[in-house]
A and B are shown apart, each in its own frame.
Chain A
Amino acid sequence: MLARLTPDVLRILAAYGAAVALFVIGALVHPGFASFPSVTSILLVASFVGLVAAGQCFVILIGGIDLSVPWVLNAAAILLATASLGQNARAFYAIALTLGMGALVGLVNGIFVVWFAVPAVVMTLAMNGVVEGLALGLSGGMTCAACASYAPPVVAAAVHGVFLGIPAALWLWLIVVLIVSFVLAFTRFGRATYAIGNNARAAFLAGVNVNLTTVFLYVLSGLFSALAGILLVGFGGQASLGMGDPYLFQSIAAVVIGGVSILGGRGNYLGAAAGAVSLTALVSVLLALNMPEYGRSIIYGVVILALLLLYGREQRE
């Protein structure tokens, strides 16, 4: 078993270790921090980061990146609220429409990255602007009548509802963790993803359909951002402007802290999920310490750098 403790496995263990350590530190400085309700509420917040990180993880594994996360998420939240008008009867239609929007954005990203050779950074950055403009313009800057709609009760229940003492959104995230990890580890699609991330040319020459796989990965990223947007409306009740902004930084940070190489080909979603938990726990600990915003921001960056220096270094030739 010791032979399996490769550097990649160690990175993931480190991410989990960091999460556990943060809960221990939190419990020391703030009794009750590690209590069951406190932990579940922290994990609930982490689940939103974790869902976005799933999509980000997929594209980073092939050496890409998705900068369109913030406004896909935000637009999804607005679309869900305005399409459902807070009614259960319209919830299914609204959810399908919203997920479809996320997938479509991802599809366009993927098509331009693959067939027009636009660098992923530029394409997804531009797409973020496109979606932002459309979301702002069509909603009249969130002044439309439907914009104030609340989440349909079923969506709210899908987040807050409790099953076996654990919030429903956490169950959902757990299922996503299991499915994504399974897909990456045991399916053709997962193998193709790693192959492309390691060496797209060699993967192509081994018969992998690089273009189609790449496009599909961007579609998945769009889908997960939209899903997170839907759940965030359920969590907070309403959509608001700028609600997606923190998730770009956090999703990339979670993926990188979780041991996924930003150059692609290495790491997996189990690590990224641990990264999401670590990040959220870190913020919670700092909040428990009454750390002001600026301090949180600084420590956040320092911790990421420290973890990177610990295990994120490139191999020298």
Chain B
Amino acid sequence: MSAAPAATPEAAAAIAAQAVSKAFGGVQALRTASFAARGGEVHALVGENGAGKSTLIKILGGRIPPDAGSLLLDGRPLRLAGTADAARHGIGTVFQELTLLPWMSVAENLLIGREPRSPVGLIRRSALPDEAEALLAGLGIHHIDPRALAAEVSLAERQIIEIARVIIRRPRILLLDEPTSSLVEREVAWLFARIRELSAAGTAVVFTSHRWNEITSIADRITIFRNGAEVGTYTEIAEDEAITLMAGRRVEALYPALPPVPANAPPVLELAEGSLNGAGELGFSLAAGEILGIGGLAGQGHRELFLGLFGAPPLRHGRIRVGGRVMRISSPADAIHAGLGIALVPEDRKSEGLLLPLSVRDNLTLPILARLSRLGVIRGAAERRMSREIISRLGVVTPSAAQPVGALSGGNQQKVLLGRWLLADSRILLLYDVTRGVDVATKHEIYELMTRLAGEGRAILFYSSDTEELAHLCHRVLVLRGGRIVATLTPPALDAEAIVAAAMREAERADAA
């Protein structure tokens, strides 16, 4: 049921942001956004990727200063000089990107800044593991070895350590940015139990999540963000309505119609007897014109699979056929030139995809320079013409092809990355979470582009952390768990719930037992 936006008397708020703005480079992440959370409440912050939630959390947590606007703590103006300063004010934050120090032990990470000291003031290093063990046990965590290095524990364990690190400092304000993204249900239940304890003790808890069932199960109030500002705060709101508010348009219109896969479409990419990290067997076949989705929770082998098909590094086991012929793909260069041409749009476009300081043109033509050059010398006119064409074809918004790609907005950067592989005329596209951190309008353009490319007969292997996307954009979805395919979903059985259910099935069985 929907309700009118609830009144938020900021005087009663434990922490509040008033009309804060923040820009990164040319991108306006927050525009005069306001937000307030009361002591003792659990306040969910929801919105699309790029809506400004993480930026707001970073500002409230003292990580970055706002360009404009003010913060209030218990109604009094607050200026934060950094995270240490925020901690002194009782604000504890779990940031979205994990901040564990990899070559230090779990105990050192957990206790940094509050280590047990000897009478002369020196840290008692030998006492660290036991103290950490006791603190973790007090929070109900028994399976993490405090002596292990942070780099040695699993992603979920790292996430739990981050959370524990903040909770043991007993913050009055607890900010959690996507704390559940790499947790399974059992661990989420643990976190929510801790959150309830803290809020019962008067702590204001602010958290972001993409999982609606989590939000409704724990949040007292929900604030929706869109395009860098709040849309409204609600005590109760239906999922459909919330999604409409987040997207700013009807969801149905977001996804274009999917052209059918021709009945006689040949398989263009096949994997047989594949195996990820020695887990069970993995195989699939991708046809020309097909968009094949790969679903499942984070950390279940998607990344290894996508990188493996691209030779970076190659899969240890498995036979890959491209266009029906067995190919050995031992490097990205092999993949790019293998028969029909394989392309990868990787997980993190900033660290793995683009060369940010280099020009749009340099980024577009990097894989096809061999074709573009004679005796090693690049044919400048041809390069300029080709990059101009692809820029206008994809509608990349940039002052010129010589613009550093880092100055473009996230959506346009993603278009450059896609355009690179269109220039290379790759017939097989491996798209890994391409819409992450992209605004809604550009998302829509990317969806249209994907369906158009499929219509042209290109084959797309598609992973997304957004299950709705998978459900709407794919002809078929394979659900991966522990490196194995646990379900193959096709319409009409293909929807977001079915994907989530398949991904979680085992975890739920374990909980029920």
Which A residues contact B (CB, under 8 angstroms)? 186-189, 191-192, 194-195, 198-199, 201-209, 265-266
State A266–B406 Cα separation when bound (angstroms).
14
With the chains together, A199 CA to B353 CA distance in Å? 9
Contacts known (A191-B369, A191-B378, A206-B420); A265 close to B332, Cβ less than 8 A: no
Interface pick from B81-89, B259-267, B284-292, B344-352 = B344-352
Contact B310 A187 (CB under 8 A): no
Given A188-B370, A188-B376, A206-B367, answer yes or no on A265-B353 (Cβ-Cβ < 8 Å).
no
> Which are the 3 A-B pairs with shortest beta-carbon distances?
A198-B355, A207-B367, A206-B366
**B311-368 contacts to A (CB < 8 Å):** 312, 331-333, 335-337, 344, 346, 351-358, 362, 366-367
For A199, give the chain B residue with the smallest CB separation.
Answer: B355
CA distance A207 to B373 in the complex (A): 15
Q: Are B358 and A198 in contact (CB under 8 A)?
A: yes
B310 touches A205 (CB 8 A): yes
Residue of B335, B344, B351, B377 touching A186 (CB-CB under 8 A): B377
Task: Jot down 24 A-B pairs with beta carbons below 8 A, ordered by A.
Answer: A186-B377, A187-B377, A188-B369, A191-B369, A192-B369, A194-B358, A198-B355, A198-B356, A198-B357, A199-B354, A201-B352, A202-B352, A202-B354, A202-B355, A204-B312, A204-B332, A205-B310, A205-B344, A205-B352, A205-B353, A206-B420, A207-B335, A209-B331, A265-B357
Q: A189-B376, A202-B354, A205-B344 are in contact. List 20 more A-B contacts (CB 8 A).
A: A186-B377, A186-B378, A186-B380, A187-B376, A187-B377, A191-B366, A191-B369, A191-B378, A192-B369, A194-B362, A195-B355, A198-B356, A198-B358, A199-B351, A201-B352, A202-B355, A203-B355, A203-B366, A205-B332, A207-B333
Name the A residues within 8 Å of B337 (CB-CB). Answer: 207
Of listed B366, B367, B377, residue having the most chain A CB within 10 A:
B366
B351 touches A201 (CB 8 A): yes
A209 to B330 CA separation, bound complex (whole angstroms): 12
Q: State the Cβ distance, B267 to closest chain A Cβ, in Å.
A: 24
Which residues of chain B come closer than 8 Å to A209, judged between CB atoms? 331, 333
Interface of A is mostly: helix
Complex: A207 Cα to B424 Cα, angstroms: 11
> Which residues of chain B have C-beta atoms less than 8 A from A203's C-beta?
355, 366
Q: Are A187 and B353 in contact (CB under 8 A)?
A: no
Chain B residues, Cβ within 8 Å of A199 = 351, 354-356
* A203 to B420 CA separation, bound complex (whole angstroms): 13
Q: With a CB–CB cut-off of 8 A, which chain A residues contact B420?
A: 206
Decide: A195 and B373 in contact? CB cutoff 8 A: no
A32→B331 CA distance, assembly (Å) = 60
Chain A residue nearest to B406 (CB atoms) is A198
User: Given A187-B373, A208-B366, A202 and B351 touching (CB < 8 A)?
Assistant: yes
- Most chain A C-beta atoms within 10 Å of own C-beta, residue among B337, B346, B357, B367: B357
Contact: B366 with A195, CB < 8 Å? Answer: yes
Q: Is the CB of B355 within 8 A of A205?
A: no
Contact with A along B439-469 (1 / 0, CB 8 A): 0000000000000000000000000000000
Point out the residues of chain A lying under 8 angstroms from B331, CB to CB: 204, 209
Cβ contacts under 8 Å, B377 to chain A: 186-188
Question: Closest CB of chain A to B318's CB: distance in Å?
Answer: 20
- Docked CA distance A206–B405 (Å): 15
Closest to B365 in A: A191
Taking the closest CB of chain B, its distance from the CB of A232, in whole angstroms, is 31
Residues in A with CB closer than 8 Å to B355 are 194-195, 198-199, 202-203, 265
Q: Residues of B contacting A194 with CB < 8 Å? A: 355, 358, 362
Contacts of A205 in B (CB 8 A): 310, 312, 332, 344, 346, 352-353
Chain A contacts of B373 at CB under 8 A?
Answer: 187-188
Contact A191 B376 (CB under 8 A): no
Complex CA gap A240/B38 in Å reads 78
CA distance A194 to B362 in the complex (A): 10
Complex Cα spacing A108 to B355, Å? 29
- By beta carbon, the residue of chain B nearest A4 is B402
Q: Within the assembled complex, what's the spacing in Å between the Cα atoms of A199 and B352?
A: 8
Q: Which of B335, B355, B420 is the most central at the interface, judged by chain A CB atoms within 10 Å of its CB?
A: B355
| Set of chain A residues within 8 Å of B333, measured between Cβ atoms | 207-209
A202 touches B370 (CB 8 A): no
CB of A298 to closest CB in B, whole Å: 35
List residues of chain A with CB within 8 A of the CB of B356: 198-199
CB-CB under 8 A from A202, the residues of chain B are: 351-355
A90 to chain B, nearest CB (A): 34
Q: Which residue of A lies closest to B379 (CB)?
A: A186
Q: How far is the CB of B404 from chain A (nearest CB, A)?
A: 8
Give the CA-CA distance A204 to B353 in the complex, in Å. Answer: 10
Which residues of the partner chain B approach A189 to less than 8 Å between Cβ atoms? 376
**Looking across the interface, which residue of chain B has its beta carbon closest to that of A315?**
B357
B366: chain A residues within 8 A (beta carbon):
191, 195, 203, 206-208
Cβ proximity bits B40-51 to A, threshold 8 Å, 1 near / 0 not? 000000000000
* CB <8 Å contact, B357 and A187: no
Give every chain A residue within 8 A of B378 (Cβ-Cβ).
186-188, 191
- Given the known A-B contacts A195-B358, A265-B357, are A207 and B332 also in contact in the complex, defined by CB atoms under 8 Å? yes
Interface centre among A188, A204, A206 (most CB of B within 10 A): A206
Bound complex: CA A115 to CA B22 (Å):
44
* Alpha-carbon distance A149/B3, docked complex (angstroms): 96
**Smallest CB-CB separation from A206: which chain B residue?**
B366
Nearest neighbor of B310 in chain A, beta-carbon distance: A205
- Residues 41-100 of B contacting A (Cβ, < 8 Å): none
Q: For residues 89 through 143 of chain B, which have their beta carbon under 8 Å from a beta carbon of chain A?
A: none
| Interchain CA distance A195-B344 in the complex, whole Å | 17
CB-nearest residue of chain A relative to B337?
A: A207
Smallest Cβ distance from B26 to chain A, in angstroms? 15
A316 to chain B, nearest CB (A): 11
Query: Do residues A207 and B336 form an inter-chain contact, with CB atoms below 8 A?
Result: yes
Task: Determine the chain A residues whose CB is within 8 A of the CB of B312 once the complex forms.
Answer: 204-205
A residues within 8 A CB of B362?
A: 191, 194-195
A142 to chain B, nearest CB (A): 41
Query: B206 → chain A, closest Cβ, in Å?
Result: 23
Residues 365-391 (chain B) with a chain A CB within 8 angstroms: 366-367, 369-370, 373, 376-378, 380
Distance in angstroms between the alpha carbons of A259 and B346 in the assembled complex:
32
- Shortest CB distance A154–B (Å): 30
| Minimal beta-carbon separation of B283 from chain A (angstroms) | 24
Task: Output the least CB separation between B313 and chain A (Å).
Answer: 10
- Chain B residues with CB under 8 A of A195: 355, 358, 362, 366
